[in-house]
Chain A
């Protein structure tokens, strides 16, 4: 695989209708979950930092379809709720962590940015921009060390790509041919700074070229294109050929965090992305046009998803706050 600007287009025929429906359901779950999280934030039930993934759902759903949560590993930064749901983590546990309750994945001690699931091989949830990149490279190192055939999906944003440690990681990953896929979620804004204002070179898929890492730009609003590109990169890594960079061209509809009024971009820009490129609407149309599902069938999915989110929201409010005794636990493991 070489560095290419070509945007991968998925061949529609290669995709199984059942899989398309499950993509639709998974993306919708993330969308509805995040909307609910935003609502609970508004009610004061979620506090602090809360970075919503709305608009970017196709990236994690498409990529997750290329790996196994029994064997491979996933790591990302702070905009992580979608990644956790895509990995198969329980919506109740994620939402309850957002509300800081004992039923949360981290018993309420981590919050939005700090959740982990060894069972689902999700390694966080990291709040320091770029830090997850050497960490993910280390997960890939472990796959190679153990010869377990696994790969690591290491997500980073267009903001993180200007951190030095990203390049330290690229160098080691290529030098040692580590099975890692660097998925750059380019949503065009690092908090409030556009890619043009932050990056001397805006073709992020080229950022590994000095390290001989193949890169590819992908339409990150098209879940099938994401999956197609992901499959190639994962196969490359599993074959022992080392890392790949996938630049997912995506977009977040909400602000960087809950307190961001997003004045750095126009309403028209956001509206255009929502109306013309929404990953869920695109797939919905494809499903309907292809006769793969009826409007009623979609309504059933909507209802199922809504039920999962409602259950998660209820649980996140009824699960108790952590007991005071939790304050001084989980600091060290008894040797």
Chain B
């Protein structure tokens, strides 16, 4: 039976086009790859190549025809040994492939499976800095799993730009504690590739400001690959480093990237506050089979907290912690801002306002259930973050609360955020640009109409 040559779609958006002219005539021999016609698409004039071999038996749509729908038979091709009499026996065009039209259910908001578990209490604790907790977490996981390695600028011989990796080179050697050149896009991509091969890299950015150079590998190469490959290629990789403003380092070194990464499906994002958070979340991040962003804070590195003295102390990613239980207003915070929220809560307690402080710990997934449960109790919420308000973590939480707890809110969810400016250098301006305890106190009083 003759082969039907169909009107081709020659651009992603083409549904019909003009068959400008035939370059072969009836009776001509055609080899695959021969240009047989010119087609005008919505974008350009394209050449149409033959796919099959044979003799052009009959032209069904003459040159110059406009508005020829894609898939219309435009000619018949006789295969080797077929005579022209085969043309009359040609069957009608086959129906297009069946396309299953299934309704797509609207995605449900992601809600954590269970509310913030009552945290296990540990009898034995040890006081240590956030810096030491991060280091210990990495060291313990590197002892446990030979596939885990640390790479970044100055992580080895220099012992870490902020001394987070102190001692790791001595213990694990240069094969597993790798000093990189200053080449963020390069080493983030190299780490992502090593993760494809099944290694478990910890990629340190000296600060997350520099990760902007590497963001393509975090998002396009790491976060999306599992999905794009239909589940074939997991990426167990940690991207970590200090995030947000340090002190007097200017606009390019003082930015919170929490909402940037929390926006991306395929990533997990955590932001520890205390040393216990740092240890438990870092260990969880390293063991997690997915790409995890760990947003640390330089100003917290030197602060000391009690940390459970147990090598299996791990915190679940996706669960918030109620740092201070309260009844009147919920304040959400993450990273360094948790400390400021706790300070504000102390002040407000003296005024008789009982504040519940939730340490988010995980920004993706967010522990929506714990937040909703808290709002159902307090009926008021203030969100706190160092980053800008626009499309920020607070904006997301406010939206989630109106979706899940609208009827329980007695006041609009209020955001306390960094001011909408690049970070200034001058001390007085920098202070004005960042949320201060007084701002939190004022916001809490405002939602209490106090």
**Which residues of A have CB within 8 Å of B104?**
324, 327
- The reply to whether A172 and B181 contact each other, CB–CB distance below 8 Å, is yes
Contact with A along B211-246 (1 / 0, CB 8 A): 000001100110001111111111000000000000
**Which residues of B have CB within 8 Å of A165?**
185-186, 189
- The reply to whether B227 and A43 contact each other, CB–CB distance below 8 Å, is no
Q: How many residues on the B side are at the interface (Cβ–Cβ under 8 A)? A: 73
User: Does A330 touch B at the CB level, under 8 Å?
Assistant: yes
User: Does B193 touch A at the CB level, under 8 Å?
Assistant: yes
Which B143-199 residues have C-beta < 8 A from chain A? 149, 175, 180-181, 183, 185-199
- The reply to whether B195 and A114 contact each other, CB–CB distance below 8 Å, is no
Q: List 8 A-B contacts (CB under 8 A).
A: A43-B9, A110-B230, A135-B192, A138-B189, A139-B193, A171-B183, A172-B180, A330-B229
Given contacts A38-B51, A110-B230, contact A43 B8 (CB under 8 A): yes
- The reply to whether B183 and A139 contact each other, CB–CB distance below 8 Å, is no
Given contacts A137-B193, A138-B197, contact A172 B228 (CB under 8 A): no
**Bound state CA distance, A43 and B49, in angstroms?**
13
User: Does A18 touch B at the CB level, under 8 Å?
Assistant: no
Quick one: which of B32, B102, B216 contacts A324, CB cutoff 8 A?
B102
Instruction: Say how far B228's CB is from chain A's closest CB, in angstroms.
Output: 4
Which B42-61 residues have C-beta < 8 A from chain A? 43-49, 51
- The reply to whether A335 and B288 contact each other, CB–CB distance below 8 Å, is yes
Quick one: which of A43, A105, A253, A261 contacts B232, CB cutoff 8 A?
A105
User: Does A201 touch B at the CB level, under 8 Å?
Assistant: no
Which A227-257 residues have C-beta < 8 A from chain B? 253-255
Q: How many residues on the A side are at the interface (Cβ–Cβ under 8 A)? A: 79
**Which residues of B have CB within 8 Å of A145?**
149, 175, 194, 199
User: Does B342 touch A at the CB level, under 8 Å?
Assistant: no
User: Does B266 touch A at the CB level, under 8 Å?
Assistant: yes
User: Does B317 touch A at the CB level, under 8 Å?
Assistant: yes
**Bound state CA distance, A261 and B10, in angstroms?**
9
Contact with A along B67-102 (1 / 0, CB 8 A): 000110000000000000000000000001101101
**Bound state CA distance, A235 and B34, in angstroms?**
41
Given contacts A35-B49, A41-B9, A261-B44, contact A142 B193 (CB under 8 A): yes
Pick from A60-68, A79-87, A315-323 the stretch touching chain B.
A315-323
User: Does A44 touch B at the CB level, under 8 Å?
Assistant: yes
Given contacts A42-B10, A135-B189, A259-B10, contact A172 B230 (CB under 8 A): no
User: Does A223 touch B at the CB level, under 8 Å?
Assistant: no
- The reply to whether A131 and B6 contact each other, CB–CB distance below 8 Å, is no
A residues adjacent to B (C-beta < 8 A): 32, 35-36, 38-39, 41-45, 47-49, 54, 73, 75, 99, 104-110, 114-118, 123-128, 131, 133-143, 145-146, 164-165, 168-169, 171-172, 175, 253-255, 258-261, 263, 274, 317-318, 320-321, 323-324, 327-333, 335
Report the nearest B residue to A148, measured CB to CB: B197
**Which residues of A have CB within 8 Å of B96?**
44
CB-CB nearest 10 A-B residue pairs:
A138-B193, A42-B8, A134-B189, A168-B186, A142-B197, A107-B230, A259-B11, A135-B193, A114-B228, A106-B230
User: Does B336 touch A at the CB level, under 8 Å?
Assistant: no
Report the nearest B residue to A121, measured CB to CB: B197
- The reply to whether B105 and A324 contact each other, CB–CB distance below 8 Å, is yes
**Bound state CA distance, A135 and B225, in angstroms?**
12
Which residue among B32, B33, B185, B189 has the maximum number of chain A CB atoms within 10 Å of its CB? Answer: B189
**Bound state CA distance, A177 and B194, in angstroms?**
15
**Which residues of B have CB within 8 Å of A47?**
12
**Other A-B pairs beyond A106-B228, A124-B229, A318-B97, 17, CB < 8 Å:** A104-B230, A105-B229, A106-B230, A106-B232, A123-B196, A127-B220, A131-B216, A134-B188, A135-B192, A135-B193, A142-B198, A142-B199, A143-B197, A168-B185, A259-B43, A260-B44, A321-B99
User: Does B290 touch A at the CB level, under 8 Å?
Assistant: yes
Given contacts A106-B232, A134-B186, A324-B102, contact A332 B8 (CB under 8 A): no
Quick one: which of A73, A109, A259 contacts B230, CB cutoff 8 A?
A109
- The reply to whether A138 and B6 contact each other, CB–CB distance below 8 Å, is no
Instruction: Say how far B101's CB is from chain A's closest CB, in angstroms.
Output: 9
Instruction: Say how far A250's CB is from chain B's closest CB, in angstroms.
Output: 17
**Bound state CA distance, A117 and B33, in angstroms?**
30
User: Does B41 touch A at the CB level, under 8 Å?
Assistant: yes
**Bound state CA distance, A335 and B43, in angstroms?**
47
User: Does B265 touch A at the CB level, under 8 Å?
Assistant: yes
- The reply to whether B190 and A172 contact each other, CB–CB distance below 8 Å, is yes
- The reply to whether A330 and B180 contact each other, CB–CB distance below 8 Å, is no
**Which residues of B have CB within 8 Å of A329?**
231
- The reply to whether A131 and B233 contact each other, CB–CB distance below 8 Å, is no
Report the nearest B residue to A115, measured CB to CB: B229
Report the nearest B residue to A133, measured CB to CB: B189
Given contacts A116-B232, A123-B196, A145-B199, contact A137 B287 (CB under 8 A): no
Report the nearest A residue to B182, measured CB to CB: A168
Instruction: Say how far B244's CB is from chain A's closest CB, in angstroms.
Output: 25
Report the nearest B residue to A114, measured CB to CB: B228
